[in-house]
Structure 1
């Protein structure tokens, strides 16, 4: 079979998606790459008074003030470790389709690899975790389970109102 014929018979690339893989402790998680705007090294942040402990602070980036949350602290109550692989990942946060997306910073441990896989490989995991609606479906491979994190479900309405101007609270 020629290379051209093999390519024509291959699974369409549209079914494959790219994910940024990171860790919280020993557990693996993934963000869809289309939600990632930029990956930065960990930067100094200005704390936000009276914010939940998992709100790490705010920083200025390209003319915009960007709130940052520590996903390790949000998920399991322990702040992210300071490592060379700990990154500040800017994501496009858009909780409602009629509101313009804004940057939200996430502090993520070991955010150094990507994965391309079929979206159908992620399956429901059968738990109703109402306290963490951002934790989505899971994918199993030779390394164990990996859980998909939904960016737009990360913030509750009160925290969203605190971190963003009224334009996100429409």
Structure 2
């Protein structure tokens, strides 16, 4: 006889969030899907001359120019490989309250899985990595460590002002 599956309380379900899980090489990372506007296949981009190497270019999407960064190149210095599971994920980039509808594109490897869990399961990982403030807490599971990426911390002030100039548009 098998035991019945325990039911989650409504309170526990309310605390859970959905995360988009992706990889950079063998390492796993996650984005809170509340920050995700749209998931697209990898699309051609217009390159931006003299931009940092992790700035992949600009995408024209539904009449809006969206700057795109390669999270693999930003994190480990190696661009994401061209795979069918490599996605272009548009996220809400809310650094300026006067412009709440800004989008930032992220090239993510193997962005094809999701995870529903309580955000409190992510814990600080004990490393002061000031060069990568977007690397947030980690969650351990059967597959190892999963690290939460903070979308709002991906760009430093210099790159942010280049990609989102004060005149209201992307570079």
SS at match of 1:72: helix
- Native 8 Å contact 1:95 1:153 kept in 2: no
Shift of 1:87: 0.2
Structure 1, gaps ≥5 residues long: 1-5
2:124 is aligned to: 124
Per-residue CA distance 1:11-53 (angstroms, 9 max, x = gap):
4322100000000000000000000000000000000011000
Report what 2:115 is aligned to: 115
Displacement of 1:101 in angstroms is 3.7
Of 121-130 and 92-101, the range deviating more from structure 2:
92-101
Cross-structure match for 2:38: 38
The alignment's TM-score, normalised by the length of structure 2, stands at: 0.90
Cα deviation digits, residues 59-95 of structure 1 (max 9, x gap): 1001100000000000000000000000000000112
Match in the other structure for 2:88: 88
The structure with the greater share of residues assigned to helix is 1
User: Shift of the alpha carbon at 1:98?
Assistant: 5.5
- The separation in 2 between residues aligned to 1:13 and 1:101, in whole angstroms, is 29
RMSD between aligned residues:
1.8
Residue 147 of structure 2 aligns with which residue?
A: 147
Q: Secondary structure at the match of 2:120?
A: helix
- State the 1:165 CA deviation: 2.6
Displacement, 1:109? 0.2
